[in-house]
C-alpha cells in the first residue's frame, strides 16, 4: 500500500517534511533553500504548516506573504 501525502491525502508520498517528517506529495512539498553557516545552502522541503512557522523555517516570513497572496 502506498503512503499518501499527509496534507492533501490524495497523492502519493514523495518526500518527508524536513521539520516534522510528515509525508508530502510533490505538489504539497514547499521547496526552500536554507542558509547554513557561511555560503552553504541546504535544500529543504516543508509542509504547509512548517513553511510559514518561523521556528521551523528561517524564511517563513516570505512564505507567509506568498501564501496570503495566493488566497
19 belongs to the binding site for Zn ion (CB under 5 A) = yes
Among 23, 44, 47, 57, binds Zn ion (CB under 5 A): 47
Q: Is 52 in the site for Zn ion (CB under 5 A)?
A: no
Q: What is residue 4's three-state secondary structure?
A: strand
Contacts of 26 (CB under 8 A, 6+ apart): 11, 14, 15
Q: Which of 1, 2, 3, 5 binds Zn ion (CB under 5 A)?
A: 5
3-class state of residue 56 by DSSP:
coil
Residue of 44, 50, 52, 60 interacting with Zn ion (CB under 5 A):
50
Amino acid at each position: 500500500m502506498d503512503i499518501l501525502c499527509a496534507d492533501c491525502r490524495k497523492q502519493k508520498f514523495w518526500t518527508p517534511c524536513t521539520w516534522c517528517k510528515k509525508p508530502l506529495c510533490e505538489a504539497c512539498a514547499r521547496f526552500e533553500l536554507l542558509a547554513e553557516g557561511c555560503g552553504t545552502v541546504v535544500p529543504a522541503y516543508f509542509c504547509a504548516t512548517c513553511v510559514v512557522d518561523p521556528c521551523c523555517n528561517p524564511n517563513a516570513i516570505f512564505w507567509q506573504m506568498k501564501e496570503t497572496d495566493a488566497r
